[in-house]
Amino acid sequence: MPNGNRGRTSLKCRPRAANKMREFDNLPPLLRQWVASSTLPWRPGSVKKAYARALRRTGNEATALAELQALQSRLVAKDARAIWGADHPNANVSS
């Protein structure tokens, strides 16, 4: 992604040196499937950490994935409000 839009999104932008495809391949199948269909471009390490935290909290894979989906919805809403304003359809998810 070009750096021209850096200040417009809350996604972190920093150089990456590791082999992301290998990291993706090492994710559990359920999590790989979720990331492959996700709205945001999750880094394998970030999604693994968020999923592990949700799984520890809930003790249930399906509920942990639902928490990831809710987190993603909040992040999309935050960016939608910042970029397109509060009237954007995706800006209405509660933080």
Residue 20: the pLDDT is: 80
CA separation for the pair 42, 20 (Å, rounded): 11
Calculate the dihedral angle through the C-alpha atoms of 53, 57, 62, 67, rounding to the nearest 10 degrees. -60
Domain range annotation of the chain? 19-92
Higher pLDDT, 95 or 26: 26
Whether the pTM exceeds 0.75: the reply is no
The set of residues, in sequence order, having a beta carbon less than 8 Å from that of 1 and lying 6+ positions away, is 13
* Local confidence band at 92 (pLDDT 50, 70, 90 cut-offs): confident
Residue 55 confidence (pLDDT) above 90 = yes
CA separation for the pair 44, 27 (Å, rounded): 7
Residue 1: the pLDDT is: 45
The C-alpha angle with vertex 37 and arms to 76 and 31, in degrees rounded to 5, equals 100
